[in-house]
Structure 1
Amino acid sequence: MNRTTRFTRLVAFAAVAGLALTACGNGDSDTDADGGAVTGGDASGETLSVWIMEGTNPDPTDFFDEVSEAFEEQTGAELDIQFVPWASAHDQFTNAIAGGTGPDVAEVGTTWTPEFGDAGALADLSDRIEGAELNDEYVPAMMEAATLEDAVYGAPWYAGVRSLIYRTDIFEEAGVEPPTTWDDLVEVGTTLKEHDEDLIPFPIPASVHTTTPFIWGAGGEVASEEDGTWTSGLDSAESVEGLTFLESLVSEHDLSTPAASTWNEADTRDAFARGEAAMIISGSWTPKSIIEANDELEGDLGVVPIPGKDGGMAPSFVGGSHLGVFETAENQDLAWTFVQMMTTGEFAEKWGEQTGFFPGTNELLTQLEEADDPLVAPFAQQMRDAGATLPVTPQWGQVEGAQILPAMMQSILGGSGSVQEAADTAASEMNEIFGQ
């Protein structure tokens, strides 16, 4: 996409946003314009403005003090770090793009990156990433989430992934091992239920991140793109097979309960912590938070990758944040220096340690996997070897906003219609958005 086309899209995006408002490496290298490593480029007297999402790191002050010191020592420039609440971030981005008041660099949620990139707000980093020899170093799923029409609109910073967390104490009492296939999941869950009839072996909330591993695990797709056109795959035979399996865990095998379809992530986690549920699909940050709130559970948690249909791993959504450089940044070389410093090496590793999320590089993921922490390594393996992305299209935000997948699962788990009927309805709604 050339700069003229991108500028046109930026103007169009700004106009739409204005109408909406009316209606309602490491730290040791710099890079040149092509991404190659250089050692010069004194930016003394300059200030780089950066937006970071609030709350990911409970106390980021010391971290960014250290980053700012290292950045100024390397470049001579100062950092102006501003924290933006997640809840209002999308609107703040939209308003800033419309008014031309965006920062130089911003943390952008992975499902937002294509939208802002397509609007022309974010710079294409593909040449810089290639010049820094980071194409094969960044985690593939996160690179895919940032790529639109061969342009890369964000560098992978950090992410989380979901795997199967189980109560080792409950499993030991029932004499079962964690499942490695879908048949195992049924067998283990049935044994757990027989051992304790009040237990919910595997609660199934109507969430995207519990649903998609079974769609992907059966060979289905949420949506696919051909010749620039996206089409829902929820109504395919493969996707319906995965959805039917999930439905059977409630209606046929009694491993979940219809009430669990209304649970959010906190509800699911709390039921698990209380011992009311034995297995849950939850995030890489979950074990730490459970143990911090319930120290008596130290040693009673286990993690395995989400089992594939016949073995191996079912794909799991990798979600987190990219760091994007705004097209309006006056010094994009300086901005890229900051992005590379944050997404590779020492500072990427420290951010991961402090937040409980994973860095966006294969090298650091491998280190976590090889460290053999039983509550960390399986998540790292899942993210590196079976990480997946949701459709990389600017229209995905509208699909999320319409809650199409959760509504479909509510219908399926509540028994208000057949799996195929619910999938057909969801696919039709999704295709309507894609066709706009």
Structure 2
Amino acid sequence: MRPRRPLALVCVSAALLSACGVLPGGSDGRHTVTVWLMQNSASPEFLRRFTADFERTHKDIRVDIRIQQWTGIVEKVQTALKSDSAGAPDVIEVGNTQVPQYVEGGRLTDLTLESMRDWGKEHWLPGLAEPGRDDSRQYGIPWYAANRVVIYRKDLFRKAGITSPPRTRDEWLSDTERLDSGGNQGIYLAGQDWYTLSGFIWDEGGDLAVETDAAWQGALDSQAALRGMDFYRRLQALGAGPVDADEEHPPQAQVFASGQVAQLIAVPGLAQSIVQENPELKDEIGYFPVPGRTAAHPGAVFTGGSDLVVPQNTDRPYDATAVVGALAGAKWDTELARTMNYVPNKTTLAGAVAGSEGVAAMAAGAAQGRATPNTPDWPAVEAANPIKGYMTKVLRGADPATEARRASRRITELLAPDFG
């Protein structure tokens, strides 16, 4: 059992962004809570408004927000979690799929009791909440999310006689076949876009890896996962995406902007790059959620985003937890989503971004979102990435079941490094 420190939700105050912070028990009587947030997660104006509101309504805590770079952050956080320094962070923003790495070793505070109070955990996005959970204990508190949608050319849809976006995978295939004519690509889908493949696998009831008897095993060879790969193969064939590269080689925004491509799968923010490349498309870009097997729900998608954690070594556990509760609460989480075009952390807050077509499409998909397998060894799989090689071989005509078994064995080896 990992050590846990029960906490109580208390009031919190905050100062405007400070270059150096104030030591706990400073001359103004406030205690300092040091918060690490990642670069570009929140705008300076949002942080000013958030902290000003705290300062106006709370008197006992000063928040020292320190912006971090994503490059090298895992090693930096790991070091901070082991630190006894007075300057160590009390609250840290971490990538949702990074939480299992930090849970290992018992260096995060268990926030289960706090999250069961008034934090609305029953409505949290699963793709943010599940990676923050270990053995039914909640260590990572969902903050914001982003996920892939279908970006499409409205003019090409009109020319093909398609009056509304598809809502099922069968409709999607049929529409894409109609779009894949007259020199157009029905969809640009690179052969190694494994995040998109993951969604199709989850939609079929499969997974990339599963845990049995406390051991993780690759699961690409399950019948459900094979059905997901078959749908990917059929969809990918309705365009000219390279079978041996991912979506960044070449950058798919450039391909969409320069060619007659009807659709691609990406986060809505990619549209900005498309319009920069080709301003004539500004009014012709639309968005819809990745379709599901039925019209009842959008398809499953990989959910990226951030959770908030509290290190075990903080000397301000109650105050730190209060900061987490405020940042992840409905008021400021909604403000963050509107300001930064994110998906809020709860399905019940989706209406806050309904006015933005791209973000609304993300929010619809996020309700069915998932994350990578909840094991600290998953980064080793992404580093070696046998999934990409498997996809290329299948798209080139190799037997899917045979290649899936090989890739699954490799995933199993990577998830059990001590026994590989």
The equivalent of 2:173 in structure 1 is 186
Letter in 2 for 1:353: R
Task: Write the deviation string for residues 279-305 of structure 1: whole angstroms up to 9, x where unpaired.
Answer: 111114334554576554333122222
Following TM superposition, by how much is the alpha carbon of 1:249 offset from its aligned partner in structure 2, in angstroms? 3.8
Number of residue equivalences: 399
Q: Distance in 2 between matches of 1:139 and 1:217?
A: 16
User: 2:165 is paired with a residue of what secondary structure?
Assistant: coil
User: 2:405 is paired with a residue of what secondary structure?
Assistant: helix
Alignment partner of 1:303 is 2:287: yes
**Quick check: 2:11–2:322 contact (8 Å CA) kept in 1?**
no
Letter in 2 for 1:282: A
Q: Distance in 2 between matches of 1:325 and 1:276?
A: 48
Query: Of the candidates 91, 99, 104, which is equivalent to residue 105 of structure 1?
Result: 91
The equivalent of 1:226 in structure 2 is 212
Q: Distance in 2 between matches of 1:167 and 1:376?
A: 17
The equivalent of 2:132 in structure 1 is 146
Alignment partner of 1:394 is 2:376: yes
**Quick check: 2:253–2:271 contact (8 Å CA) kept in 1?**
no
Following TM superposition, by how much is the alpha carbon of 1:395 offset from its aligned partner in structure 2, in angstroms? 1.6
Following TM superposition, by how much is the alpha carbon of 1:120 offset from its aligned partner in structure 2, in angstroms? 1.6
User: 1:171 is paired with a residue of what secondary structure?
Assistant: helix
Letter in 2 for 1:46: H
Alignment partner of 1:432 is 2:413: yes
Q: Distance in 2 between matches of 1:389 and 1:399?
A: 14
Task: Write the deviation string for residues 388-414 of structure 1: whole angstroms up to 9, x where unpaired.
Answer: 22211122222222223233223333x
Q: Distance in 1 between matches of 2:371 and 2:358?
A: 23
Alignment partner of 1:360 is 2:345: yes
Task: Write the deviation string for residues 194-232 of structure 1: whole angstroms up to 9, x where unpaired.
Answer: 2x2253534234123221122122232112223433222
**Quick check: 1:109–1:321 contact (8 Å CA) kept in 2?**
yes
TM-score, structure 1 as length reference: 0.83
**Quick check: 1:190–1:255 contact (8 Å CA) kept in 2?**
no
The equivalent of 2:21 in structure 1 is none
Which residues in structure 2 correspond to 1:233-382 (within 5 Å)? 233-250=219-236, 253-258=237-242, 261-264=245-248, 267-287=251-271, 290-291=274-275, 295-311=279-295, 312-369=297-354, 371=355, 373-382=356-365
The equivalent of 2:402 in structure 1 is 421
Letter in 2 for 1:323: L
Letter in 2 for 1:387: G
Query: Of the candidates 159, 163, 169, which is equivalent to residue 173 of structure 1?
Result: 159
Following TM superposition, by how much is the alpha carbon of 1:178 offset from its aligned partner in structure 2, in angstroms? 2.8
Q: Distance in 2 between matches of 1:389 and 1:259?
A: 24
Following TM superposition, by how much is the alpha carbon of 1:333 offset from its aligned partner in structure 2, in angstroms? 0.9
The equivalent of 1:27 in structure 2 is none
Following TM superposition, by how much is the alpha carbon of 1:50 offset from its aligned partner in structure 2, in angstroms? 1.2
Following TM superposition, by how much is the alpha carbon of 1:104 offset from its aligned partner in structure 2, in angstroms? 0.7
Letter in 2 for 1:342: L
Q: Judging changes above 3 Å, is the alpha-carbon distance between structure 1 residues 163 and 87 closer, same or farther for their aligned structure 2 residues? A: same
User: 1:225 is paired with a residue of what secondary structure?
Assistant: strand
Structure 2 unaligned blocks of 5 or more: 14-23
Q: Distance in 1 between matches of 2:269 and 2:39?
A: 17
TM-score, structure 2 as length reference: 0.86
Which residues in structure 2 correspond to 1:15-94 (within 5 Å)? 34-35=7-8, 44-57=29-42, 60-73=43-56, 74-94=58-78
Letter in 1 for 2:53: A
The alignment yields a C-alpha RMSD, in angstroms, of 2.8
Q: Distance in 2 between matches of 1:169 and 1:426?
A: 40
**Quick check: 1:47–1:77 contact (8 Å CA) kept in 2?**
yes
